Amino acid sequence: MLLKNAKIINPIDNFEDFADIRIQDEIITEIGKNLMPVSNEQVIDLTGKVITPGLIDMHCHLREPGFNAKETIKTGIASAINGGYTAICPMANTNPVTDNATTLTYCISKAKEVSQIGFFPICAVTKGLSGEKIVNVSELISLGAIAFSDDGKPLENMHLLREALKYINSHNKIIISHSEDSSLVNSGVINEGIISTKTGLKGIPAITESLAIARELEIVRAIQGKYHFAHISTKRSVELIRQAKKDGLNVTCETAPHYFSLSEDDIKDYDAKYKVNPPLRTKEDLQAIIEGLQDGTIDVIATDHAPHTVREKQLPIQNAPMGIAGFETALSVTINFLVQNGKLSLMEAIRKLTSNPAKILKLKNRGDIRTGKEANLTVIDPNEQITVDASKFKSKCRISPFDGMTLKGAVKMTIIKGTIHNIG
């Protein structure tokens, strides 16, 4: 096929210009201006659109096996493709936990049955997410594990973390940390602050996250390891990681779209669609997250797609589980709240959605638009206005704090290995 007349944004070599892209047998074979069609070639006019590397989500939850009522691998992949994602990295908190060869092989084979999407599983650090015994790292890597995380539960045994980090880093892989001091969570529901006081809901203090990050950074410093922090949400967390980078520590981190677009002030009517973990923080924290994205402290925007059933999320906020659907709003929220208002250039936003996660996870053929590379592309219209309708999500979880919100920025097409998936 021949993609004509779009602007191409490729962060890996800072390329931003109008050009055409020729694709043959899943591979980008030519990029240039005014390319002429050859016989039997499908020509697609993308005037007014932008072609980016295919979006990569390095943090999501697909729930299968074990929690298929919330999401399945099939519905999760459909949701991801609808959001412009050509590669996803599902976390291990399934049932059984993805901590063994059988479960990992099942997930990979199930994904292959559904789609050619890049499917890069993240396996547990400890067996059963128990925080007690390290998994068989080498076996899981040989079967396709891209990284390791007990996400959903913090690693609080510092001796175990130290040993796991040395072991996993020796295999050239990273740990992705769910940084949290569980003793401070104390069954909290929302951020501890003015809103929790006004509503009477039990609060989760910001120090829950930053205290855990501080001690984990000392482990990383002591052994000179490589480490990634998930879903950063507080000002102090950003400050700690910024200083760690200045000190030369090999650390990276991510945030999720809801942490730079929503705050605790947006929580209304005890509605569980605003209940996430970590919780929505203060406006001051939100501003710090944006500044962390601007100065490079925060490397990646990940969805933390964490689906639950509609019935579960319609429970009172005190009883509902934490998590929301994230795939199908991430690009629009990023463009609307960061690009349209000048907080980030489109190039920088796309970098955090594509080439940066590819670099951190060492994903070949991902996050790049150059000749000879696999044709994994996302076509977007950064100026198109959309109204979020969660009832039309491909995900089983049709719950979103952005439901009904009008945003600028739309996914128009997802191309995976040269195959087009039209959106909407």
Is 17 domain-assigned? no
Peptide bond into 307 cis (omega under 30): no
pLDDT at 206: 98
The rounded distance, in Å, linking the Cα atoms of 165 and 227 is 8
**How close are the terminal C-alpha atoms of the chain, in Å?**
21
Question: What secondary structure letter does DSSP report for 335?
Answer: I
The pLDDT tens digits along the chain (424 residues) read 999 999 999 999 999 999 999 999 999 999 999 999 999 999 999 999 999 999 999 999 999 999 999 999 999 999 999 999 999 999 999 999 999 999 999 999 999 999 999 999 999 999 999 999 999 999 999 999 999 999 999 999 999 999 999 999 999 999 999 999 999 999 999 999 999 999 999 999 999 999 999 999 999 999 999 999 999 999 999 999 999 999 999 999 999 999 999 999 999 889 999 999 999 999 999 999 999 999 999 999 999 999 999 999 999 999 999 999 999 999 999 999 999 999 999 999 999 999 999 999 999 889 999 999 999 999 999 999 999 999 999 999 999 999 999 999 999 999 999 999 977 5
Confirm whether 159 is domain-assigned: yes
Among the options 181, 304, 368, 381, which is catalytic?
304
Which residue from 336, 338, 280, 365 is spatially nearest to 54, judged by alpha carbons?
365
Q: Which residue has the tokens 């201006």?
A: 33
Among this protein's residues, is 304 annotated catalytic?
yes
Q: How far is CA 274 from CA 128, 175, 318, in A?
A: 28, 28, 12
Q: What is the SS3 assignment for 401?
A: coil
Under a CB-based contact definition with an 8 Å cutoff, are residues 62 and 95 in contact? no
What CA–CA distance (Å, rounded) separates 419 from 410? 19
Helix (H, G, I), strand (E, B) or coil at 32: strand
CB atoms within 10 A of CB 236: 16
> What integer pLDDT is reported at residue 364 of this predicted model?
87
3-state secondary structure of 111: helix
Q: Residue 268's pLDDT is what?
A: 85
Residue 8 covered by a domain: no
Rg (CA), the chain: 21
Placement of tokens 């499908």 in the chain: 42
At 253 the pLDDT is 99
Strands laid side by side in the 55-60 sheet: 55-60, 85-90, 118-119
> Is the C-alpha dihedral spanning 132, 149, 79, 101 positive or negative?
negative
Cβ neighbourhood burial of 16 (10 Å; 0-12, 13-18, 19+): middle
Count of domains forming the chain: 1
Contacts of residue 253, Cβ cutoff 8 Å, sequence gap at least 6: 228, 229, 230, 232, 241, 297, 298, 299, 300
Distance CA 160, CA 181 (A): 16
Query: Is 404 among the domain residues?
Result: no
Task: Say if 400 falls within a structural domain.
Answer: no
- How far apart CA 40 and CA 174 sit, in angstroms, is 45
Q: By three-state DSSP, how is residue 21 classified?
A: strand
pLDDT reported for residue 365: 83
Closest CA to 210 of 283, 145, 281, 271: 281
- Is the full-model pTM beyond 0.95? yes
Helix (H, G, I), strand (E, B) or coil at 4: strand
CATH classification of the domain holding 243: 3.20.20.140
| Burial class for 391, CB neighbours closer than 10 Å (0-12, 13-18, 19+) | exposed
Range of the domain at 315: 55-371
Q: What is the pLDDT of residue 269?
A: 85
Inside any domain, residue 26: no
The C-alpha angle 179, 182, 185, rounded to 5 degrees, equals 105
Tens of pLDDT, residues 259-314: 999 999 999 889 999 999 999 999 999 999 999 999 999 999 999 999 999 999 99
CB 69 within 8 A of CB 396: yes
Lookup: tokens for 4: 């004509």
Residue 332 belongs to a domain:
yes
Tokens of 345: 């250039």
Contact (CB, 8 A) for 224 and 250? yes
Closest-CA residue to 121 (of 156, 165, 173): 173
Q: Kindly state the helix (H) or strand (E) to which residue 332 belongs, with its residue range.
A: helix 330-334
Question: In 3-state terms, the chain is what percent helix, strand and coil (to 5)?
Answer: 35, 25, 45
**H/E element holding 31?**
strand 27-32
DSSP, res 9: E
Q: Which H or E element spans position 217?
A: helix 207-223
In a domain, 406, yes or no: no
Q: Which two tokens stand for residue 153?
A: 């539960």
